[in-house]
Amino acid sequence: MTVRKNFPVVGMGCAACVARVENTLRKLPGVTDVSVSLASNMAQVEYDPAVVSAAGLKQAVVDGGYDLIVEEAEKPEEVASGPDPDEQAERIRLKELRSLRSDAVGGLCAAALVMAVSMFCKDSPRWTVFLAVFTLIVVILFGRRFFKSAWNQLRHGSANMDTLVALSVGISWLFSAFNLLFPEVWTSRGLKAGLYFESSAMILAFVLLGRWLEERAKHGTTASLRALKQLQPEVHCDVGEVMAVDPGYRIPVDGVVVEGESLVDESALTGESVPVAKAPGTKVYAGTTNGSATLKVKAEKVGNGTLLAGIVDMVRDAQGSKARIQRTVDKVAAVFVPVIVGVALLTFLVWALAVPGGVAKGILAAVGVLVIACPCSLGLATPTAVIAGIGNAARKGILVKDADALQVAAGIDAVVLDKTGTVTVGSAEKFDADWRDVIKPTSREAVQAMKDMGLDVYMLTGDKAEIASGIAREAGIDNVVSEVLPDAKHHFVEKLQKEGRRVAMVGDGINDSAALALADLSVAMGRGSDIAIDTAMATVISSDLRKVPELVKLSGRTSRIIKENLFWAFIYNVLAVPAAALGLVNPMIAAACMALSSVCVVSNSLRLRKG
């Protein structure tokens, strides 16, 4: 019996780190699946607790040069005495963000001083010695994280982006120090001993600035998940307990109203801005806000059993999942750093052996190659877009199961709708005298939106033809099939697929289960505890059909941004590395370009948080 859990990872800096953590965990007995995200710094692991414990997972990651944050409690009946892993990871990330900011500011100020001295006092031996010593202090003080990480990777027989930074900064300083101490090596050959201390300082400063901006942007992609978690009030109660919720306060449990009438804002869960009327006998959910009068609520689900907790878990799982294309990118990233080190070495040898006096130029070109190469942008291209897209969907009240589901939605060209509970209200107390049902107020608008997007809309129902035709006509649906059994819905979806259509099936997730399972995209409609979270690829919490075209639009935007990110990440490395090898890019400019490449990718993904 396997379980799937999310664990925060500490110490990852690039896509090469992701590959190493994944490979480390995947090799453990009892582990059946692993997905590690650089954007969220999370490892989603499916494993057999009878074979390997969470502590065992942690130890393996620690031995690999990183860290995994796990709960102290291993079994459901145990109570974890330590802090919540997510909260602990968040504190670590914020601490790292503050540290990066201070190092970036300090590094930029120090680098500016180094640059000024090198420009105006380069012919003074006294100032040159000061430059060497001061730059070494700057490198040690502000670049310690890169050298520490590079050494840690080396001890474990691996390399990552920090290795490239440490090599480039270290080589620049050591080469300059050698030229300062032994200038006769070059002057005896009629060459000038160049000093490049400013390159070491500026490379470090630009990389720190880029890493800080990147981490800050990455932190923004997970804002939706943090916002959802913060909806849960810090109120402890038991199932069956009755509590009073005053106006303006969040409801802390899933339960039923036993006394009072009020309007409740459920927008945080459903994305619907219109408050919902509540009276004795109606359900309320944790994280929603009581609006106009005091309600007395009997708790039915508390803590991790609430709908809100389920949504948080589902969003976290979805954000930790990987699109298929990302797995290919990860394979490239796994060998990226060793290949770049090899290219840098080859660059130096070609310059040194083929060009008279080319040793200095070869070193600068090799440093440029090490600095300008950027596996970070490759590793961030897909997950940042996925996380931002899934978070945006969750804010709208659409729960997307995984990254593939988000991408699949962009390619559909036919939508099959169940009638009862999807197009219509489906509640017995709202049945119209003329029509087992009445159309939802938003269904016609939703259908028109789908048709405007070029989607063919079908309605399937077990109702008689007369009733089905009336509902379809009112909803603006041109294609309707009536008097069908559940297996006929399955066959209808299959028929469309055989015609080459990409089909989305929208239903209640129960009697439509066969059709939902077969469809390219399955969307469950439902409220509260009736939501088919476990069966559908996406779930609309509010049962508002307008969310379906919203999902398709968001999917299209996400897919487009992923393609843009991957294009720029690949084209950047394809063009930048050869340019640096040819000596066309100054190492300081190379550092700035490398930093900006990752920031641009993440910033592009953050556009998905809007709209």
Helix and strand numbers, DSSP H then E, in the chain: 21, 18
Both tokens of 294, joined, read 């005091």
* Cβ atoms 418, 508 nearer than 8 A: yes
Concerning whether 402 is annotated as a catalytic residue, the answer is: no
Given the residues 103, 162, 418, 544, the one annotated as active site: 418
Both tokens of 577, joined, read 């590395």
27 SS3 class: coil
Both tokens of 567, joined, read 């294009």
Cβ neighbors of 339 (< 8 A, separation 6 or more) are none
Could you tell me the sign of the dihedral formed by the alpha carbons of 127, 130, 136, 137, in that order?
negative
**Residue environment code for 82-91, b if the CB has 16+ CB neighbours within 10 A, otherwise e:** eeebbebbbe
Picking from 569, 611, 609, the residue whose alpha carbon sits closest to that of residue 593 is 569
Both tokens of 85, joined, read 């892993």
* Cβ atoms 438, 470 nearer than 8 A: no
Cβ neighbors of 1 (< 8 A, separation 6 or more) are 48, 49, 50
DSSP per residue over 102-141, as a string? HHHHHHHHHHHHHHHHHHHSTT-HHHHHHHHHHHHHHHHH
Could you tell me the sign of the dihedral formed by the alpha carbons of 43, 44, 47, 53, in that order?
positive
| Distance, CA of 163 to CA of 148 (rounded, Å) | 9
End-to-end Cα distance, the chain: 41
Calculate the alpha carbon distances from 45 to 29, 83, 90, 385, 434 in Å.
12, 20, 19, 21, 53
Calculate the alpha carbon distances from 46 to 2, 155, 186 in Å.
6, 28, 59
Phi (first) and psi of residue 537, to 5 degrees: -75, -25
Which amino acid appears at position 508 of this protein?
Answer: D
| Distance, CA of 303 to CA of 555 (rounded, Å) | 32
Both tokens of 550, joined, read 């919203």
* Cβ atoms 563, 342 nearer than 8 A: no
The alpha-helical segments, DSSP class H, found in 143-282 are 144-155, 161-181, 184-187, 197-221, 223-229, 267-270
**Greatest extent of the chain over all pairs of C-alpha atoms, in Å:** 104
Sheet containing 67-68: give its strands across.
31-37, 42-47, 3-10, 67-68
Supply the residues annotated as catalytic. 418
